[in-house]
């Protein structure tokens, strides 16, 4: 861990020499963020070259515009000695790229949830056509499942097991009880930040296949026809040949969705890291960036763009050689950064843990020192290093508190939305949606006996042996 960061944090907590320490805090935090992002980007960029050159993802061509723009920014930053103004322009271009990736991932996530629901349905009818082996009878199975659920080491694990089980057991509850659970789930967010509730509503709508946005008519429309076909099937009376056709279609489309998601996830990480490099570039010269990291980044960029670069002259005066020889040399540079990332990450976490407190406690001093923009940047960098690839950079730390009335009105609106959505839907689709959403609800049972009763009722009230067998099979795999 950086001793300078540790000293800054300690002195600011004790209000010692705040003017000097705040400036040192910004400088040091920016430097370690720059070093951290550069090493992360080096590793991700190297791996991405392998993905592209070895054709590991068949859908690279669908993101050529984003990939090309990213390569251009990397080249401009590392090869053309850009001015501060030009680097600021790169930051904005990277944020625009990030939003484009986020929009596409939003659509992919919605389609993935649609296929999860139809996979649930097809799985529940699979054993109408496939052979069933002997399964434990309902009472024995229920006892084993409940024992497994409460074997969790703490309440959080137990709650997770309960939600997982409810997402797989046959759904045999009245819609009124389901709607009551929706209301109770939303009430759990009273006195929480509104953003937490909004996140739950987003997850609920995607899991229920109710989520729509304007980009769904623009991106990945090839999945629409398959989803419409799956929605129109008569699952109660489906024959074996039709089942086999759509089982294969679902597998093929799910595989494509997973490949596309992997691609845009990797691009999102690369764009985030390059943004962090640019955003902290003003402080980079005093930092401890790894020359090896820059060599690898420049070399991979040159290979991507099929351009000459003087980076190859750093190879001890040896000829640049073939692509394989260049890659071998770049790989040898990775040894020089091995083990550095963990220490830098500790410093990033130490500095980030007190960022909000410093921002609030020393707001006036930050303004007088002209560091407001730097602290805004540090907040974004902290979110990107700790909040996930697609964390919201704008809403972080903001939002109103959920009141009882707000929760009640939100629950009323969501229940009405569900009722409208269920109209005209088949029983199997309704049950699949209910199962897929119950798996994310913070449902609270009052006792282990209530959980046991729910499990038994779910099994005993299910007279569809194929559905029951499929549910037991999945849960047995979970318990093993």
Output 3 or 158, whichever has higher pLDDT.
Answer: 158
Q: Which of 36-40, 224-228, 351-355, 364-368 has the lowest mean pLDDT?
A: 351-355
pLDDT (0 to 100) of residue 288: 46
What CA–CA distance (Å, rounded) separates 162 from 150? Answer: 9
What CA–CA distance (Å, rounded) separates 359 from 156? Answer: 32
Phi, psi torsion values for 169, nearest 5 degrees: -65, 150
For residue 446, what are its two tokens?
């009052």
Report whether 344 contacts 39 (CB < 8 A).
yes
Report whether 86 contacts 78 (CB < 8 A).
no
CB neighbourhood size of 341 (10 A) = 17
Q: Tell me the pLDDT of the chain averaged across its residues.
A: 91
Sign of the torsion formed by the C-alpha atoms of 274, 278, 280 and 285: positive
Burial of 178 (0-12, 13-18, 19+ CB in 10 A): buried
pLDDT (0 to 100) of residue 398: 55
pLDDT (0 to 100) of residue 460: 95
Phi, psi torsion values for 401, nearest 5 degrees: -90, 140
pLDDT (0 to 100) of residue 320: 65
pLDDT of residue 289 exceeding 80 = no
Residues in the chain, overall count: 480
What CA–CA distance (Å, rounded) separates 465 from 356? Answer: 55
Report whether 218 contacts 104 (CB < 8 A).
no
pLDDT of residue 346 exceeding 80 = yes
CB neighbourhood size of 286 (10 A) = 11
Output 211 or 398, whichever has higher pLDDT.
Answer: 211
| pLDDT tens figures, 7-65 | 888 888 888 888 999 999 999 999 999 999 999 999 999 999 999 999 999 999 999 99
What CA–CA distance (Å, rounded) separates 177 from 48? Answer: 48
| pLDDT tens figures, 74-97 | 999 999 999 999 999 999 999 999
Average pLDDT over residues 171-199: 93
For residue 399, what are its two tokens?
């939002």
Instruction: Mention every residue, 6+ apart, whose C-beta is less than 8 A from residue 430.
Output: 175, 422
pLDDT of residue 434 exceeding 50 = yes
* Per-residue pLDDT band at 2 (split at 50, 70, 90): low
pLDDT of residue 430 exceeding 70 = yes
Output 414 or 389, whichever has higher pLDDT.
Answer: 414
Considering only CA atoms, which of 30, 4, 19, 32 is closest in space to residue 341?
A: 32
Output 108 or 346, whichever has higher pLDDT.
Answer: 108
What CA–CA distance (Å, rounded) separates 427 from 169? Answer: 15
Average pLDDT over residues 268-294: 84
Domain residue ranges of the chain, discontinuous segments joined by +: 3-106+262-386
pLDDT of residue 412 exceeding 90 = yes
For residue 301, what are its two tokens?
């960029």
Average pLDDT over residues 396-411: 85
| pLDDT tens figures, 227-268 | 999 999 999 999 999 999 999 999 999 999 999 999 999 999
What CA–CA distance (Å, rounded) separates 38 from 422? Answer: 49
Q: Which of 10-14, 124-128, 338-342, 357-361 has the lowest mean pLDDT?
A: 338-342
Q: Which of 134-138, 237-241, 349-353 has the lowest mean pLDDT?
A: 349-353
pLDDT of residue 395 exceeding 60 = no
| pLDDT tens figures, 439-471 | 888 876 878 899 999 999 999 999 999 999 999
The three-class DSSP label of residue 224 is: helix
Question: Which residue is it, tokens 């949830």?
Answer: 113
What CA–CA distance (Å, rounded) separates 229 from 242? Answer: 11
**Three-state secondary structure readout of 156-218:** HHHHHHHHHHHCCCCCCCCHHHHHHHHHHHHHCCCCCEHHHHHHHHHHHHHHCCCCCCHHHHC
Q: Does the global pTM surpass 0.85? A: yes
pLDDT of residue 396 exceeding 50 = no
3-state helix, strand, coil in the chain (%, to 5): 75, 0, 25
Output 319 or 370, whichever has higher pLDDT.
Answer: 370
pLDDT of residue 119 exceeding 50 = yes
* Residues forming a β-bridge with 401: 193
pLDDT of residue 397 exceeding 50 = no
pLDDT (0 to 100) of residue 195: 87
Average pLDDT over residues 398-426: 93
């Amino acid at each position: 861990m950086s001793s300078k960061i540790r000293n800054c944090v300690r002195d600011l907590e004790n209000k010692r020499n705040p003017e000097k320490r705040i400036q040192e805090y910004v400088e040091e935090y920016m430097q370690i963020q720059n070093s951290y992002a550069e090493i992360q980007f080096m590793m991700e960029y190297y791996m991405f070259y392998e993905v592209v050159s070895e054709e590991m993802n068949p859908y690279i061509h669908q993101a050529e515009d984003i990939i090309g723009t990213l390569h251009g920014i990397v080249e401009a930053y590392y090869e053309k000695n850009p001015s501060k103004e030009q680097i600021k322009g790169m930051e904005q271009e990277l944020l625009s790229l990030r939003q484009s990736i986020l929009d596409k991932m939003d659509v992919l996530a919605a389609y993935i949830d649609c296929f999860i629901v139809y996979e649930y349905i097809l799985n529940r009818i699979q054993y109408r056509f496939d052979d069933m082996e002997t399964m434990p009878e309902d009472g024995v199975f229920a006892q084993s499942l409940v024992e497994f659920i409460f074997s969790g080491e703490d309440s959080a694990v137990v709650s997770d097991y309960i939600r997982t089980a409810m997402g797989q057991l046959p759904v045999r509850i009245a819609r009124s009880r389901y709607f009551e659970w929706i209301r109770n789930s939303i009430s759990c967010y009273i006195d929480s930040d509104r953003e937490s509730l909004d996140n739950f509503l987003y997850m609920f709508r995607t899991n229920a296949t109710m989520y729509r946005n304007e980009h769904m008519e623009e991106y990945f429309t090839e999945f629409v026809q398959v989803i419409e076909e799956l929605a129109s099937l008569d699952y109660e009376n489906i024959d074996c040949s039709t089942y086999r056709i759509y089982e294969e279609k679902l597998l093929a489309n799910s595989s494509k969705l997973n490949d596309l998601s992997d691609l845009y996830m990797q691009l999102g990480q690369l764009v985030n890291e390059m943004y962090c490099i640019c955003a902290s570039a003003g402080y980079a010269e005093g930092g401890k960036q790894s020359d090896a990291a820059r060599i690898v980044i420049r070399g991979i960029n040159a290979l991507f763009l099929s351009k000459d670069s003087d980076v190859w002259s750093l190879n001890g005066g040896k000829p640049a050689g073939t692509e394989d020889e260049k890659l071998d040399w770049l790989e040898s540079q990775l040894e020089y950064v091995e083990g550095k990332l963990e220490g830098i990450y500790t410093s990033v976490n130490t500095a980030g843990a007190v960022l909000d407190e410093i921002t609030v406690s020393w707001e006036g001093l930050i303004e007088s020192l002209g560091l407001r923009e730097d602290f805004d940047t540090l907040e974004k960098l902290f979110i990107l290093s700790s909040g996930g690839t697609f964390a919201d950079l704008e809403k972080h730390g903001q939002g109103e508190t959920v009141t009882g009335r707000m929760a009640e009105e939100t629950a009323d609106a969501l229940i009405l939305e569900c009722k409208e959505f269920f109209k005209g839907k088949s029983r199997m689709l309704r049950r699949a949606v209910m199962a897929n959403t119950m798996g994310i609800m913070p449902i609270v049972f009052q006792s282990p006996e209530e959980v046991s009763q729910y499990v038994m009722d779910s099994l005993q009230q299910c007279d569809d042996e194929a559905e029951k067998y499929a549910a037991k099979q999945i849960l047995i795999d979970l318990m093993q």
